[in-house]
Amino acid sequence: MMTDRSGIGLTSQRARNRLVDLLREMGISSEEVLELISSTPRHLFVDEALASRAYENNALPIGFGQTISQPYVVAAMTQVLRETGPLDRVLEIGGGCGYQSAVLARIASQVYTVERIAALANRLRSRLHELRIANVRVRHGDGRLGWASQAPFDAVLVAAAAPTMPKALLEQLSIGGRAVMPIGRQGDQMLTLFRRTEDGFEEQPLQRVSFVPLLDNVD
Ligand code: SAH
69 is catalytic: yes
Spot the catalytic one: 6, 39, 69, 149. 69
Distance 69 CA to ligand 1 centre (A): 10
- The predicted pLDDT at position 8 comes to 67
Least confident of 82-86, 142-146, 162-166, 185-189: 185-189
Determine the Cα–Cα distance for residues 194 and 178; give it in Å rounded to an integer: 5
Query: DSSP strand E in the chain: where?
Result: 60-63, 66-68, 89-93, 110-115, 136-140, 153-158, 173-185, 188-196, 201-209
As a whole number of angstroms, the distance between CA 95 and CA 113 comes to 6
Closest by CA to 140, choosing from 156, 124, 158, 157, is 124
Residue 62 Cα: closest atom of ligand 1: 8
Distance 198 CA to ligand 1 centre (A): 30
Specify the ligand 1 atom closest to the Cα of 74.
7
Q: Distance between CA atoms of 60 and 163, rounded to whole angstroms? A: 23
Q: What is the pTM of this model?
A: 0.95
Q: State residue 156's pLDDT score.
A: 98
What is the model's pLDDT at position 1?
44
Q: Say if 33 falls within a structural domain.
A: no
Which residue has better confidence, 156 or 219?
Answer: 156
Which pLDDT belongs to residue 10? 73
Is the pLDDT reported for residue 111 higher than 60?
yes
Q: What is the mean pLDDT of residues 96-122?
A: 97
Contact in structure between 147 and 122 (CB atoms under 8 Å): no
Residue 12: per-residue pLDDT: 84
Q: What domain count does the chain have?
A: 1
> Between 219 and 56, where is the model more confident?
56
**Predicted pLDDT of residue 219:** 61
Residue 142 lies in a domain: yes
Candidate of 81, 214, 218, 219 to mutate for ligand 1, largest count of ligand atoms within 8 Å of Cβ: 214
pLDDT-derived band at 5, boundaries 50, 70, 90: confident
- Measuring from each residue's beta carbon to the nearest atom of ligand 1, which residues come in under 6 Å? 62, 66-69, 93-94, 96-97, 99-100, 114-117, 120, 142-144, 159-160, 212, 214-215
Q: Which of 102, 111, 154, 99 is nearest to 135 (CA)?
A: 111
109 lies in some domain: yes
Report if residue 41 sits inside a domain: no
Q: Report the alpha-carbon distance of residue 219 to residue 75 in Å, rounded.
A: 29
| Contact (Cβ atoms closer than 8 angstroms) between residue 66 and residue 47 | no
Asked if the structure places residue 59 within a domain, the reply is: no
- 149 found inside a domain: yes
Considering the domain boundaries, does residue 162 fall inside one? yes
Q: What's residue 4's pLDDT?
A: 65
Q: Which of 57, 64, 93 to mutate to test the pocket of ligand 1 (most atoms within 8 A of CB)?
A: 93
| CA 167/CA 164 separation, integer angstroms | 9
Nearest to 43 by CA among 95, 94, 103, 99: 99
Q: Examine residue 217 and state whether it is found in any structural domain, yes or no.
A: no
Backbone angles phi, psi at 158, to 5 degrees: -105, 120
Q: What is the CATH number of the domain that holds 183?
A: 3.40.50.150
Return the closest-CA partner of residue 94 out of 134, 64, 72.
64
Round the average pLDDT of the chain to a whole number and report it. Answer: 95
What is the rounded radius of gyration, in angstroms, for the C-alpha atoms of the chain? 16
Residue nearest to atom 26 of ligand 1 (CA): 94
pLDDT at 15 over 50: yes
Q: What is the mean pLDDT of residues 141-148?
A: 97
Domain span including residue 149: 71-209
* Average pLDDT for 127-147: 97
